Structure 1
Amino acid sequence: MSRTSDWPLPPDSLRLLLPPVLLAKLAAHPLSRDLYPTSLGHYRRARDHQMSRDRHDDHLLIYCSEGVGHLLADTTEGPQALRVGSGDLIWLPPGMAHEYRADHEQPWSISWVHLRGDGAHWLRQAAGYDASPLRHWGVQHALLGGFTQLLEAGHSGYRFQPYLLAASRLRALLCQLPLLRPLREGGLDLDGLHAYMRENLHRRLELAQLAAFCNLSKFHFVNRYRVLTGRTPVQHFLHLKIEYACQLLDSSGHSVAQVSEALGYDDSYYFSRLFSKVMGLSPSAYRARLGEGRGGA
């Protein structure tokens, strides 16, 4: 197994090395033997972090969420010197000698995992990695959350089941990469934007606020969003609001005025017009129809 960095950990970082007995179980179990972690961690603003390996016998993923790093990799097309920035994911396969370090001025924050299993080779190709070990996916909640879930196994006392779950989560994380490609190419973190919308259903976010969240002008923001989704961002935000309104009408005793207020609309008549435009009937008619159909599946 490739050795991990012995970089001294600050209080807000974590490094997990799986013991040999646990690794043997993961390598033998039918649910994990083709893809499982051997070590993993998270380094926060890793000043002076560096590593060099001439011999490398597993896969290594390094996801940079902030700051800058520098990578030198001995690829099939010759040595590549690469600058690593926020949103970049490095995938170093077995046999690729490499060295990397955090930038002195802007040290990177990284999540990382060493992994083994035949499934990793196929997933690496599916994610579009060829000779270069670096791709830019952007800072996406799906990836950050995936690495965070992997590290949850670290509070189990090396029990097998949490690490078996980590192996499953690792597969799910890697399977997301081909699906994230349109988000990268479109220049938008749709997962992050949609999470922001869902967190603000009680507000009336304007187009300018949504564009500012993505650090884009309103013109470029609307055009990129429409290409990726087929609708405008304001339409999607409205549909999220109406979807939530339906849940409130179905599961609470709130009046239409109270539902309107919960969604940030002071004028319940205006809210009713928006609701009717999306659902084809008024909020009151929607609730009445639900009452008529009680008892069905």
Structure 2
Amino acid sequence: MSNPSKWPLPHAGVRFITPTFMLEKLARHPLTKDCYPTAMGYYPAASGHRMQRERHDDNLLLYCTSGRGQLTVGDWHSQVTAGHIMLLPQGLAHTYEADGDDPWTLYWVHFQGASTRVFMQYLGYREDRPLTSAGVSPLLIGAFTNLLEVRRTGYSTRAFINASNHLRHLITQMSMEISAHAGRLQSGFELDHVQAYMLEHIDQTITLDALAQVANMSKYHFSNRYKTLTGYPPIKHFLNMKMEHACHLLDSTDMGVSEIARGVGYDDPLYFSRLFSKTVGSSPRGYRSSTRK
């Protein structure tokens, strides 16, 4: 694996390397072989931090939560600021360093596994895009903090299996935060605001025109932007939200199907049941029966 930097670790910093015997277990175990951490850490206000790798043997994510730095990959160079994520897959030579006047604070994780290329692509890595942004997200900071807890387990195999799956969750959470941040950067378009409006009106019918008005965009541009950020057209996503809420009501209440249908905006319970079956894969009664066995 690529060794972490030898930056002098302060009292509040963390640098943890997965031992070789555990790496061998994780590489073989069916629950971890696709993606597992090889090293991880937290570098606060990392003055003097610098790393250059001509040979990079694993994959690396670095998340800047404050301060500044620079990243160079080949002829490409960029400043790194708070909220940026550096995506450095296996084989990519690179150099990065903290700013001299305002050094960055970093959370980082090296990882390996059979599916790491897929995970990097899922985060949006392209040959000309080793840098992306999720903003400064408390959710991601919390996810990194949870991942780092594995260093206090006495090299427990079960704890490392759990940490490997925390890492998968971190990556998928990171993808969601990247998407949400991109939406917030769009002039006049706040994805969180639009989706909050959807949830507030989950018991009603909303038109595409109404959602575009909430987003302060034309219907055409709103629909295209929403699908780019979420993978769904807005009305289809609203339908999915309704069915998620219907599942919650079926799980957590004794409300009848007709009452639940009205609770998600459908006066016709038969029509609601058809939509539910098409979306979820079973009838409302069948879903309730399967969750209460």
Shared topology, TM-score over 0.5? yes
Q: CA RMSD in A?
A: 2.5
Residue 39 of structure 2 is matched in structure 1 by: 39
Q: Give the structure with higher Rg (CA).
A: 1
Residue 180 of structure 1 is matched in structure 2 by: 177
SS of the equivalent of 1:130 reads coil
SS of the equivalent of 1:185 reads helix
Q: 1:232 to 1:152 in 2, by over 3 A?
A: same
Residue type at the aligned position of 2:151: G
Residue 60 of structure 1 is matched in structure 2 by: 60
SS of the equivalent of 1:95 reads coil
Cα shift readout 1:222-281 (whole Å, capped 9, x = no counterpart): x62675325299x69xxxxxxxxxxxxxxxxxxxxxxxxxxxxxxxxxxxxxxxxx9xxx
- Quote the sequence identity (%): 38
Residue 179 of structure 1 and its aligned partner are, at CA, apart by 2.4
Residue type at the aligned position of 1:116: Q
Q: Measure, in 2, the Cα distance between the counterparts of 1:53 and 1:148.
A: 26
Alignment of 1:1-297 (within 5 A): 1-74=1-74, 79-131=75-127, 132-187=129-184, 224=190, 228-229=194-195, 231=197
Residue 288 of structure 2 is matched in structure 1 by: none
Q: Measure, in 2, the Cα distance between the counterparts of 1:55 and 1:38.
A: 16
Residue type at the aligned position of 1:184: H
SS of the equivalent of 1:114 reads strand
Residue 72 of structure 1 and its aligned partner are, at CA, apart by 0.8
Task: Name stretches of at least 5 consecutive residues in structure 2 with no aligned partner.
Answer: 202-262, 264-291
SS of the equivalent of 1:231 reads helix
Q: 1:137 touches 1:180 (CA, 8 Å); kept in 2?
A: yes
Residue type at the aligned position of 1:50: R
Q: 1:7 touches 1:50 (CA, 8 Å); kept in 2?
A: yes
Residue type at the aligned position of 1:173: L
Task: Name stretches of at least 5 consecutive residues in structure 1 with no aligned partner.
Answer: 189-218, 237-277, 279-296
SS of the equivalent of 1:176 reads helix
Q: Measure, in 2, the Cα distance between the counterparts of 1:62 and 1:88.
A: 8
- TM-score, length of structure 2 as denominator length: 0.64
Residue type at the aligned position of 2:53: R
Q: How many residues align?
A: 203
Q: Measure, in 1, the Cα distance between the counterparts of 2:114 and 2:136.
A: 28
Q: Measure, in 2, the Cα distance between the counterparts of 1:20 and 1:232.
A: 49
Residue 242 of structure 1 is matched in structure 2 by: none
Q: 2:83 touches 2:135 (CA, 8 Å); kept in 1?
A: yes
Residue 182 of structure 1 and its aligned partner are, at CA, apart by 3.6
Structure 1 runs, 4 residues or longer, greater than 6 Å off: none
Q: 1:61 touches 1:114 (CA, 8 Å); kept in 2?
A: yes
